[in-house]
């Protein structure tokens, strides 16, 4: 959420930013926000005038009574009562205007970074760099579910019977591999100086609206019926929410956190839920990284966080590339975002396995997170990035480490988490 002072002083810049995101239907929000802001400030000014007048007249009443000027004193009392009535009306008015202004401001997109390429949608995202050689073996790579089934490692039919499409049972070596990847990701991030957390898996509505846009909320979040609780779509929601309505000392920054959680998503939209695979599903697990930092430090943290994910995948012999999201593909709260995509030898193309995002001070403003420094109170910047999110990550792992005989190589970094195993072998 932008600062209304910024919108007031830079309306043309805000409008231009909306155009860059190809959201012309939101241009009217700028005028609405400015109008609501002016009316709100005018109501506040009038309230202050009335309070000052009421205090002045109240003092006069005593003097008038003492001087025996009762009729004038009674007239003064009527003015005090009238002022009190108008003040009560103004308080209701300012509260309503404030709520409408906040709702309007929460729909205006954040100002994107100057480095973000312009484009309407994800088809215009820009490849930045590749890491590792994207090889295609001279043998056929089966569909990822088929690979898992060879190891008796997945049961989609039973999951459909218990829960519906978009769920799965993992078992045996595939289930162990899933857990091993998460455990390795946890230690990988701890070794890089991040503090490990397991957060709440449900959050209140006030946190949901603080960390994401209304559109994302509708398309992603599951609400607990009859309660002000939502299942998280990523642990970023809980981790940023941890600081709601707090005043941090500047010396407490940066906060570099890594968190594990299950994630629950409706996955409403054009992609839909896969009937057979585990690429787009309702439930998965993830290791996340979250940073709160000084505004001037967020670009450097962004690069550091992105490098962490790339390094993690490369230690597991998975080629990846960094793909910068264009202006039209950025969620409204994001200043800048780069997707990490893993190579799929079967499809002979890259697919998304994580996303690194800088949200500027948007989440901090929405959640009331402030930092006390020598120059006064400010809002920190918040950033998040996926370390790994199996089972989607397992697709890339299995395809890139599959051998011609059907076995799967276990890279050395992962072997301690797999009981020392160097490979997975199909049990005939």
- Domain locations in the chain as residue ranges: 4-105, 122-424
Q: What is the pLDDT of residue 88?
A: 87
Residue 231 has pLDDT above 90, yes or no: yes
Tell which wins on pLDDT, 270 or 234: 234
Q: What is the pLDDT of residue 235?
A: 95
Q: What is the pLDDT of residue 186?
A: 98
Q: Which pLDDT score is estimated for 274?
A: 62
C-alpha span between 243 and 84 (Å, rounded): 38
415 catalytically annotated = no
The verdict on whether 321 is a catalytic residue reads: no
Q: Cβ distance 363 to 357 under 8 Å?
A: no
Task: Tell me how far CA of residue 391 lies from CA of 15, 49, 146, 353, 419, in angstroms.
Answer: 41, 62, 14, 10, 20
Residue 58 is a catalytic residue: no
Q: Of residues 46, 124, 352, 415, which has the active-site annotation?
A: 352
Instruction: Put the strands of the sheet holding 222-223 in their side by side order.
Output: 202-203, 230-231, 222-223
Please report the pLDDT score of residue 275 as a whole number. Answer: 61
Task: Name the token pair of 81.
Answer: 């009562």
Neighbours of 317 (CB within 10 A): 16
Interval 310-345: pLDDT, tens:
999 999 999 999 999 999 999 999 999 999 999 999
User: Which comes out higher in pLDDT, residue 213 or 229?
Assistant: 229
**Residue 30: closest CA among 44, 16, 46, 40:** 16
Greater pLDDT, 215 or 134:
134
Whether 56 sits among the annotated catalytic residues: the reply is no
- From the candidates 15, 186, 265, 365, which is the catalytic residue? 265
- The predicted pLDDT at position 71 comes to 73
Report whether 397 contacts 318 (CB < 8 A).
yes
Evaluate if residue 87 carries a pLDDT over 90: no
pTM score, whole prediction: 0.90
Q: Average of pLDDT values for 243-261?
A: 96
In this predicted structure, the answer to whether residue 72 has a pLDDT above a threshold of 90 is no
Which of 15, 186, 321, 392 is an active site residue? Answer: 392
d(CA 380, CA 372) in angstroms, rounded, equals 10
Distance CA 291, CA 359 (A): 11
**Would residue 160 show up in a list of annotated catalytic residues for this protein?**
no
pLDDT in tens, 155-210: 999 999 999 989 999 999 999 999 999 999 999 999 999 999 999 999 999 999 99
Residue 351 CA to residue 276 CA, distance in Å, equals 17
Q: Which of 8, 39, 176, 280 is catalytic?
A: 280
Catalytic residue among 236, 355, 365, 370: 355
Instruction: Please tell me the distance from the alpha carbon of residue 60 to that of residue 63, in angstroms, as a whole number.
Output: 5
Torsion sign (Cα): 324, 325, 326, 331: negative
User: What does 151-215 look like in DSSP terms, one character per residue?
Assistant: TT-EEHHHHHHHT-TT--EE-HHHHHHHHHHHHHHHHHHHHTTPEEE---SEE-HHHHHHHS-HH
Enumerate residues 6+ apart whose C-beta is below 8 A from 260.
182, 186, 196, 197, 198, 235, 285, 286, 287, 288
CATH number corresponding to 122-424: 3.30.930.10
For residue 428, the model assigns a pLDDT of: 58
Left (φ > 0), alpha (ψ -120 to 50) or beta: where does 89 sit?
alpha
d(CA 370, CA 246): 6
- Overall fold of domain 4-105: Helix Hairpins (1.10.287)
User: Where is pLDDT greater, at 74 or 122?
Assistant: 122
Task: State pLDDT tens for residues 369-420.
Answer: 999 987 889 999 999 999 999 988 999 999 999 999 999 999 999 999 999 9
């Amino acid at each position: 959420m932008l600062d209304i002072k910024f919108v007031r002083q830079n309306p043309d810049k805000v409008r231009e930013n909306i155009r860059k995101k190809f959201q012309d239907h939101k241009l009217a929000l700028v005028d609405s926000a400015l109008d609501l802001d002016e009316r709100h400030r005018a109501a506040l000014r009038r309230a202050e005038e009335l309070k000052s007048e009421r205090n002045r007249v109240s003092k006069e009443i005593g003097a008038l009574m003492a001087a025996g000027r009762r009729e004038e004193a009674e007239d003064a009392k009527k003015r005090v009562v009238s002022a009190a009535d108008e003040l009560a009306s103004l308080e209701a008015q300012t509260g309503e205007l404030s709520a409408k202004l906040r709702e309007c401001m929460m729909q205006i997109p954040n100002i994107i970074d100057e480095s973000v390429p312009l484009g309407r949608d994800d088809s215009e995202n820009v490849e930045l760099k590749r890491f590792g050689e994207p090889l295609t073996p001279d043998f056929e790579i089966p569909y990822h579910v088929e690979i898992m089934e060879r190891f008796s490692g997945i049961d989609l039919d039973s999951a459909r019977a218990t829960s519906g499409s978009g769920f799965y049972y993992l078992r045996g070596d595939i289930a162990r591999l899933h857990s091993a990847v998460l455990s390795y990701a946890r230690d990988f991030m701890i070794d890089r100086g991040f503090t490990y957390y397991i957060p709440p898996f449900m959050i209140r509505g006030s946190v949901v609206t603080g960390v994401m846009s209304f559109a994302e909320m509708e398309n992603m979040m599951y609400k607990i019926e009859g309660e002000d609780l939502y299942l998280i779509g990523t642990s970023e929601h809980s981790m940023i929410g941890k600081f709601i309505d707090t005043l941090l000392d500047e010396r407490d920054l940066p906060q570099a956190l890594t968190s594990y959680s299950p994630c629950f998503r409706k996955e409403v939209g054009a992609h839909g839920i896969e009937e057979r695979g585990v690429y787009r599903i309702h439930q998965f697990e993830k290791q996340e990284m979250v940073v709160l930092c000084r505004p001037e430090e967020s670009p450097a943290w962004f690069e550091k966080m992105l490098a962490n994910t790339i390094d993690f995948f490369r230690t597991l012999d998975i080629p990846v590339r960094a793909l910068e999201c264009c202006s039209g593909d950025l969620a409204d709260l994001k200043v800048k975002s780069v997707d990490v995509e893993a190579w799929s030898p079967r499809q002979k193309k890259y697919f998304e396995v994580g996303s690194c995002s800088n949200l500027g001070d948007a989440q901090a403003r929405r959640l009331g997170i402030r930092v006390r420094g020598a120059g006064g109170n400010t809002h920190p910047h918040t950033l998040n990035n996926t370390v790994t999110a199996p089972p989607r990550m397992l697709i890339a792992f299995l395809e890139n480490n599959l051998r011609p005989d059907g076995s799967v190589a276990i890279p050395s970094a992962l072997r301690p988490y797999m009981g020392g195993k160097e490979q997975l072998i199909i049990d005939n």
